[in-house]
Amino acid sequence: MTVPTALEKFATTIGPKPDEILLEMNRRAEEIAFPTVGPAVGGWLQQLAALVEAERVFEFGSGFGYSAYWFARAVPANGEIVLTEVDEAELQAARTYLDRGGYIDRATFEHGDALEIINEYDGPFDIALIDNEKDRYVEAFESVRSKVPVGGLIVADNAIRGPFEFETLRRLLRGEIDPTRHDTREIESANGIAAYIDHVTTQDSFETTLLPLGEGVLISRRQP
């Protein structure tokens, strides 16, 4: 694991405490090996939403609602979290969890491709979470950047690890691997993240930092 397990557990202990439903969601993720952001990063999502006083959040890929549930704990009752998911069963599970937690009033559920759904919304979104196909991260960023206000955030998961190892990403960023000569899912995913890192770190209108927890989170804040 790239981030030491002890550090991950320590960060989880310090962070916001999960309720019973989040604990149930954690167990579900472990049982079916579903790649959620995890409780340490989830606590940070809640914290980030509170810090920017987020009223609207858009998610590119929501799974069964794990990250949305963390966001919902900081978004006001009259706010909105737009969940998008191509798997209808996962989206229904998200609806059930958010309903049980008392957050259904601030959730909008969209079944389909997030990159198509975002075009149906005008914004503004105080936070956008990118957690869809890794080779489409740059496209997701470009589709939402104008809908994030000054001070708002674009948050991207899997910045250091995911369906690929960190060493693969590091070598791609250094130019030690030619992605055109490799045709594997790991290289495709890692190359998508490498392209995203190159892209967001050269945008003058966004300032980007890395949160080295979970599988790595890039946080890009829109500048004046």
pTM assigned to the model: 0.93
Residue 184's pLDDT is 87
Q: What is the mean pLDDT of residues 115-130?
A: 97
- Dihedral Cα 129, 133, 135, 141, nearest 10 deg: -20
Residue 79's pLDDT is 97
pLDDT tens, position by position, 22-69: 999 999 999 999 989 999 999 999 999 999 999 999 999 999 999 999
SS3 track for the chain = CCCCHHHHHHHHHHCCCCCHHHHHHHHHHHHHCCCCCHHHHHHHHHHHHHHCCCCEEEEECCCCCHHHHHHHCCCCCCCEEEEEECCHHHHHHHHHHHHHHCCHHHEEEEECCHHHHHHHCCCCCCEEEECCCHHHHHHHHHHHHHHCCCCCEEEEECCCCCCCCHHHHHHHHCCCCCHHHCCCHHHHHHHHHHHHHHHHCCCCCEEEEEECCCCCEEEEEECC
In the CATH hierarchy, which fold is given to the domain comprising 5-222?
Answer: Rossmann fold (3.40.50)
**For 65, what's the count of Cα atoms within 13 Å in the CB-facing half-sphere?**
32
pLDDT tens, position by position, 81-116: 999 999 999 999 999 999 999 999 999 999 999 999
Residues 6+ apart with CB under 8 A from 5: none
Cβ burial of 115 (10 Å; 0-12, 13-18, 19+) is: middle
pLDDT tens, position by position, 143-189: 999 999 999 999 999 999 988 888 888 888 998 888 877 778 889 89
Q: What is the mean pLDDT of residues 204-219?
A: 95
Residue 12's pLDDT is 83
Q: What band does 4 get if pLDDT is binned at 50, 70 and 90?
A: confident
Measured between alpha carbons, how far is 61 from 55 in angstroms, rounded to an integer?
19
Residue 199's pLDDT is 97
First to last CA, the chain: 37
